[in-house]
Chain A
Amino acid sequence: MEVDKGKGEAEETRKVAEADRDTVTLKSSDGKLFEVSKEAAARLSTVLAGMIAGGSIDDNGTDLKQIGSEALENVVDYCNKHANSIPSAALISSSISFNTAPFKEPEEWERKFVDRLSHDALFDLVEAANFLGMERLLDVTCHKISEMMKGKSPDQIREVFNIKNDYTKEELEEIRQELAWAFYDD
């Protein structure tokens, strides 16, 4: 009983210490440790915010088994960069359509951040951002992916993203006929 109580107290102390720190430590699936600004992590990721608020952050590295080290490095890099950037007017600019939620255009540094990534790294980052509930990072990565598709034919898109065509000839023809207007330029 005595021992248990002592352990509980020690945990309390550790949690207080954790709460006082400016950063949290995250551990990738392959065991690498990354430090990230606590404020930015909580602001940008609903999952990390929940873990921080719930006290389930491990001082020795919170396990994120679903995320590889390369993707986690990008996530952490993004959070830390975001911690230092001030939102510009572009972030607040509203969308043209009044029926859909306004999409906020990526900022210059966010564009550059995703532009330098390989396709594989971009894909892993999208999955990581999705897993961590990082809405803003998802906006930025989805924007990048949509840019990669613009003006491309289905064949070209499949090539860019290494996607196998799982349609039969007949099925494709059906789509083309159903949406005849869309394929005039092909």
Chain B
Amino acid sequence: MEETATSTTSMQQERTGWSSLPADLLVDIVDLLPWSSHPRFAAVCKHWRSAVSPFYPGWLTPVLLNAVDIGCTNLRYYSPYHHKIFEVSSELETPNAKICCTRGRHLTLCQQNDDEITVAHVDLVTGVIRDSYPVDHDSFDFVIYDGERRRMFGISAVGVLQVVRAIQSDAGGWYRWEFSEFSPDEPKIIIASPMTSPVIHRGLLYLLGVDGRLAVYDDGRHEQGLVVLDKPKGFGGLDCDDCYLFESDEGELMAVLMGRRGAPVRVVKLNEQEMEWEEVESLQGRALFTGTPTTMMVKTNFEWMQNKIFVPRLHSWPESLQVYLEEREGELAFVPVSTAPVEQDGGGTREMGIWSCGLEPQPSSSSEFWETIKFYHSIWVDFSN
């Protein structure tokens, strides 16, 4: 017994070693760890915790990027998880640009100057902006970036359909734009849903019509441009005021249909054998972030987010924090400029945070937008890789 006691004492003396590493060294070590492991580091012992500085994870859910006036105002991100706005000090130097789409950490903007359009491809983390060659064109209704094939597509959808393509070089820059044929003799007319960006799905570009019809473009047959499909004929009798096209986390082509004040909200999936939209009964635990040009469906660990649909409307205006957007080992976090302690989970404000609803029937009063604040000029960004 006594021997055991002695050896324990000598071991405890050793123990003080690592736990008492100088604070500045602990800070150096924490800085080398991915953000997600900082809380575990802090939970080791009190001294180690003192080396961990506050931050808000940026990868937990998609965040809403917003710039009231691009080029003139700072970028800010709204996090539904924290119900906070994170304001970064950088501005995008692309005045009057229109937000077109996001893909991962990349944002695509479209800038119109007289008769010329420039498309800017922005890395939101490094701030690097890659401008395309200016294209001599009236306007693009949509611009979509295909990250896999490294292509940018500008689409005109009013009256006639036309696709203009730019290919990205290995260095990240852009080759000159190439125009497809118009489709003026196309007897079928599609009125593109103005709110949603087209979607790249299985290598093809899909444009959604307000009535649920689809136009498709095949990059391998660029000259053909967009072709309106015979089927699906429509949303199968489902009415909506707004519709948003997206590819689910499992690679299915889907659309969200919303009423003018939110309810009723429905989700449909394209049955690619029958080429018909089918109503989706359940989100199967996933969360859907929509109401902006880019819509995304993600898996979530947070119970209160599961099976919920989120749009950029807030029940209360959140607190704003000045932050740096910092990357560690592929993880992005919002790091407050001020070192004051931070309240992590938004406490009890969550219910008063972002508007959401489920697919199951519910009292219309709770699933409508009444008394919510619209978060204008915003788009969902997925920093989770």
Contacts and interface: CB of A to CB of B under 8 A. Distances in A.
25 contacts: A96-B126, A97-B125, A97-B326, A123-B21, A126-B25, A130-B22, A142-B28, A142-B32, A145-B29, A149-B37, A150-B33, A157-B40, A157-B41, A161-B18, A161-B19, A162-B14, A163-B15, A164-B12, A165-B44, A167-B43, A167-B46, A175-B43, A175-B49, A181-B81, A181-B302
Nearest to B15: A162
A151 B33 CA distance: 10
Interface stretch (A4-12, A60-68, A84-92, A98-106): A98-106
B181 interface: no
Given A150-B37, A166-B45, A167-B45, 18 more contacts: A96-B126, A103-B32, A130-B22, A138-B28, A142-B29, A143-B32, A152-B40, A158-B45, A162-B14, A163-B45, A164-B45, A172-B43, A175-B43, A176-B43, A182-B36, A182-B39, A182-B57, A184-B301
Contacts of B31: 100, 103
Ranked nearest first, the 10 interchain pairs of A and B with the lowest CB-CB distance are: A182-B39, A146-B32, A161-B18, A154-B43, A179-B39, A163-B19, A97-B327, A142-B28, A162-B15, A184-B301
Q: Which of A139, A151, A161, A180 has the most CB of B within 10 A?
A: A161
Nearest to A103: B32
B328 interface: yes
A166 B46 contact: yes
Nearest to B81: A181
A98 B90 CA distance: 12
Interface of B: 11-12, 14-15, 17-19, 21-22, 25, 28-29, 31-34, 36-46, 48-49, 57, 60, 81, 125-127, 301-302, 324-328, 344-345
Contacts of A175: 39, 42-43, 49
> Chain A contact residues (Cβ within 8 angstroms of B): what range?
35 or more
A179 B48 CA distance: 16
Nearest to A163: B19
Nearest to A176: B43
A171 to B, nearest CB: 8
Contacts, number: 108
Given A100-B326, A157-B40, A157-B41, A146 B29 contact: yes
Nearest to B46: A166
A178 interface: yes
A181 B40 CA distance: 11
Contacts of B40: 152-154, 157, 182
A126 B60 contact: no
Nearest to A129: B25
B54 to A, nearest CB: 10
Contacts of B22: 130
Contacts of A161: 18-19, 44
Nearest to B12: A164
B91 to A, nearest CB: 15
Contacts of A179: 39, 42, 344
Contact of B344 (A130, A164, A178): A178
Contact of A138 (B25, B301, B328): B25
Contacts of A100: 31, 326
A161 B42 CA distance: 14
A162 B17 contact: yes
Contacts of B344: 178-180
Interface string A107-119: 0000000000001
Contacts of B43: 154, 167, 172, 175-176
A172 B40 CA distance: 11
Interface in A123-156: 123, 126, 130, 138-139, 142-143, 145-146, 149-154
Nearest to A162: B15
A165 B28 CA distance: 22
A53 B39 CA distance: 44
A164 B13 CA distance: 10
Contacts of A142: 25, 28-29, 32
Given A162-B11, A162-B17, A164-B19, A181 B45 contact: no
